[in-house]
Structure 1
Amino acid sequence: MSAAAKTAAMGSDAKPGQFPRTLTHALGTTELKAAPKRVVVLDVGELDNVVSLGIQPVGYAPSEGDDGIPGYLKKDAGAPKSVGTVNNLNLEAIADLQPDLILGSQLRAADKYDELSKFAPTVFSIRPGFTWKGNYLLNAAALDRTAEAKAKLSAYETRAKQLGSDIGPNKPTVSMVRYLPGKIRLYAKACFIGTILEDTGLPRPENQQIDELAAEISPEKIDEADADWIFTGVYGDAKATRKNAAQANPLWKNLTAVKAGQAKDVPDETWYLGLGVTAANSVLDDLRADLVKK
């Protein structure tokens, strides 16, 4: 069974407003005695999820490539305290916040689960990324906001299908390039952005039609990124990556998208780090602006 299918089977059969409720999740079952009021989130996906449901968390762990609340969530997220970073959690800071719910994932923090569970009921998805829709419903079940989450997902999916329809039958191929320190990735199907492109029906180059997160390439092989459109993200500081070297390569300048003026930088915080419905809708807005003829 895939991670997405396993995630879809998680959650609670509690009725709206019913507490105590038991949640099945990646690391077992967790009982919530009352509706949570002090929520700590351990990644950007969980932050997007709770904020989209009208909840301001008391604590948040940003990714290493970000230095706080992502810009697209700032106006609604409140002022959560930092509890370390995604890969370096500060357990003392989490305990000090006296949370009544902790939301995270097995992939990021499985080794901290037992300790976190001593502080508060802790609910973990399997992983962030391409399972984002199931993760959203799992988080919503813990927060007694399932109906709202289902409505937001349905609205997103309607928008994605409409975008595909508005682009028309001759859809351009779309290549996803991301620069990280020491790595250049061509993002494939098993990732957040991969699911969004699939939902809109946008085709990918053959080398990105794989059920994996990404394929890694060197600056010398940047021609493997070719497509009708190239959307580029940068994780953290661009100077710490090989973006300049790759784009100085004559092969880059000869790519179909580059010659057509259809190679664009996109916000990493929504396209690659967002991992939730608010980010997904922002990506749809960006795609519409570029791909739908005015």
Structure 2
Amino acid sequence: MSVRRRGTAAAALALAAALSLTACGGSSDGAGTSGPSAGAGDKKAVAQGGDEFADAARKTAAMGTDAKAGEWPRTITHAMGETELKAQPKRVVVLDVGELDNVVSLGIKPVGLAPTEGSPELPSYLKKDAGSPKNVGTINNLNLEAIAGLKPDLILGSQLRAADKYDELSQIAPTVFSLRPGFTWKENYLLNAAALDRTAEAKQNLAAYEKKAKALGEKLGADKPTVSMVRYMPDGVIRLYAGASFIGTILKDAGIPRPKNQQVNDLATEVSAENIDQADGDYIFTGVYGDPKATDKSKAQSNPLWKNLAAVKAGHAYDVPDETWYLGLGVTAAEEVLADLDEHLTK
């Protein structure tokens, strides 16, 4: 294995933003579990994201390889430079749920997984096909000794999660990093597929997803309802997920409109339980990161402002699985989300 550090301007720009996020702790959606909280009244704080970071992320995540199918060795260009793979990987360790979704969708059972703190078990929607990957710590606390013990021949992760561990990981096995998880999930998928020589399969899976998203949009017709995405986080943080998020890309692909306060190119805006009326839309879909008791979900939904929301009164407020809607970050989760949207929006 050889690694050459040939970064790009985009990667350098995004690294600074990524590292600031990493310091907050991960919620596997591309941002920290902590961050600025909303103040009193109508004041809102913006969770991590932004146009500049978005552009850098997309440019870096789109990197990969020009190798032909079946051609080895191959060199993968990624967020941390270049990595040479001498043969097709057989023992893969994944450092986040997005990479897990990616490799499982391509027919690969990883030997190791770093789950999220908010969902420490193997995601239920992947259990059938994921095999029994060994735990190698969590996305924010990797166990390098456990990773080395699995003798991997490829490690897949992201710069945002583990930039400070990249050198050590590269000493264990060839390591390929996307810039970040989240709204760049399609580019990340193709990057991972390139390292596995599964690009054709990945493109087929993405095309199938795109077809389903378009079909849902057509089924909903011209007068589509607005969808509000609410996620309850630890320490009283309540996020209204916006455009630069995994769920934001899915709603956009289906042509489903968002409330005005979620029509921003950031991960999310943040509100408090006292301002939960800002979460209104024709439909509200709610996720919870980790233990609901560690969040303000109960406080927010006991607020008369919540009970008076149009979506709540109409019976259009639904709890949805956090592991697919927010933590999945891959094509399999995206199709699960589309199925849930179809079920709820077309009743």
Give the TM-score taking structure 1 as reference length.
0.98
SS of alignment partner, residue 250 of structure 2:
helix
Q: Give 1:259's match in structure 2, choosing from 313, 323, 327.
A: 313
How many positions carry a matched residue from both structures? 293
Partner residue of 2:343 out of 286, 289, 293: 289
Whether the 8 Å CA contact 2:60–2:179 is kept in 1: the answer is: yes
Identity %: 75
Where relative contact order (Cα < 8 A, 6+ residues apart) is larger, the structure is 2
- Residue 123 of structure 2 is aligned with which of 58, 62, 70? 70
Letter in 2 for 1:281: E
Which one of the candidate residues 30, 42, 65 is aligned to 2:95? 42
- In the alignment, what sits opposite 1:105? 158
Corresponding residue number in structure 2 for 1:219: 273
What TM-score, normalized by structure 2, do the two folds share? 0.83
Aligned to 1:60: 113
1:87 paired to 2:140: yes
Please list every run of 5 or more consecutive structure 2 residues that lacks an aligned counterpart in the other structure: 1-9, 11-54
Tell me: CA distance 1:80–1:159, structure 2 relative to 1, closer, same or farther (3 Å).
Answer: same
Indicate the residue corresponding to 1:166 in structure 2: 219
Task: Indicate the SS of the match to 2:102.
Answer: helix
Distance in 2 separating the partners of 1:149 and 1:168: 29
The ranges of structure 1 where at least 4 consecutive aligned residues each deviate by more than 6 angstroms after the TM superposition are: none
Q: Distance in 2 between matches of 1:238 and 1:3?
A: 34
Paired residue for 1:155? Answer: 208
User: Please, which of 290, 314, 331 is the counterpart of residue 277 of structure 1?
Assistant: 331
**Which residue identity is paired with 1:149?**
A
SS in 2 for 1:261: coil
Contact 2:217 2:254 in 1 (8 A): yes
Amino acid at match of 2:259: P
Alignment gaps of 5+ in structure 1: none
CA distance in 1, matches of 2:80, 2:310: 46
- Counterpart of 1:268 (choices 322, 328, 331) is 322
| Partners of 1:19 and 1:35 within 8 A in 2 | yes
**Separation in 2, partners of 1:253, 1:190:** 28
Is 1:143 equivalent to 2:209 in the alignment? no
Mapped partners of 2:99, 2:207: distance in 1? 19
Quickly say closer, same or farther: Cα 1:274–1:9, change in 2 above 3 A.
closer
Distance in 1 (alpha carbons) for counterparts of 2:93 and 2:272: 38
Give the aligned partner of residue 253 of structure 2.
199
SS of residue matched to 1:258: helix
Distance in 1, Cα, partners of 2:209 & 2:199 = 15
* Partner of residue 37, structure 2: none
- Aligned: 1:129 with 2:198: no
Q: Report the CA distance between 1:8 and its aligned residue.
A: 5.0
Distance, in Å, in 2 between the alignment partners of 1:67 and 1:10 is: 30
Secondary structure of 1:11's counterpart equals coil
Please report the RMSD computed on the Cα atoms of aligned residues, expressed in angstroms: 0.8
The alpha carbon displacement at 1:5 in A equals: 3.0
> Per-residue deviation at 1:3?
3.6
1:171-218 alpha-carbon deviations (Å, 9 max, x no partner): 000000000111111001000000000000000000000110011111
What's the CA shift string for 1:26-46, capped at 9, x where partnerless?
Answer: 000000000000000000000
SS at match of 2:115: coil
- For residues 12 and 231 of structure 1, the distance between their equivalents in structure 2, rounded to whole angstroms, comes to 38
Q: Tell whether the 8 Å contact from 2:57 to 2:180 is kept in structure 1 after alignment.
A: no
Cα deviation, residue 4, structure 1: 4.6
Partners of 1:59 and 1:97 within 8 A in 2: yes
